[in-house]
Amino acid sequence: MNNVLKKTAPESVWTWILITLLWGTVFFFTSTWMLSQASILLDAGAFRPDRSLSITVYLLYTPVLILIALVAKAVKHRLDPGSLRQLERQKRVRAGGRERYFVSLAGSIASGFLFTVLTASAYVFAVPVTGVSVRLGVVTVLAASVMHVAAGLAASLFVGMIFLVSGVGRGSARS
């Protein structure tokens, strides 16, 4: 029997939550910056939230991140019970058969885009709580989302470089 396909202990719910909070926090603040830059670039109003507004919106946004983590874990468990596909992917990465510089290129692009839309939505839906008027047009949000894809690619490249430096993906050279 292939030892890579053996059953592993399930990942902790806390692992999913902490990783989602980590990346969700990074993408929240980089998305906020991209939204303000797109607003300036398009001369589409003055979306320049101050630090206290951003923190308040982030605190309201955190439960959404936790919900995303829980849903993602449930979907992953449903699509890959026993984590067999994940173990096989990890084996291919260690053997050098997968992307070495980008950890999920498509996922990075989708994350960069979707987290900007989610961040813009958080600011808009927080208006009743914060009392601050937020003007974000669809064009501004879409432009910021496209610009923010670069942040997703940079994060993916960063993680890929950590893998490269640490030796993951070198295959038999590390053995």
Tens-digit pLDDT profile for residues 2-20: 554 455 556 788 988 999 9
Q: How does pLDDT run across 114-148, given as a tens digit for each residue?
A: 999 999 999 999 999 998 888 888 999 999 999 99
What percent of the chain stands above pLDDT 90?
39
Question: What residue spans define the domains of the chain?
Answer: 11-167
Indicate whether 28 pLDDT > 90: yes
3-class SS shares of the chain: helix, strand, coil, % to 5: 75, 0, 25
The amino acid occupying position 162 is I
The residue whose two tokens read 């993680």 is 159
pTM for the model stands at: 0.75
Instruction: Please give the average per-residue pLDDT across 88-109, as a whole number.
Output: 67
Q: How does pLDDT run across 57-86, given as a tens digit for each residue?
A: 999 999 999 999 999 889 988 887 776 777
Indicate whether 22 pLDDT > 80: yes
Given this model, what pLDDT does residue 37 score? 92
Task: State the DSSP H helix or E strand holding residue 160, giving kind and residue range, or none if neither.
Answer: helix 138-166
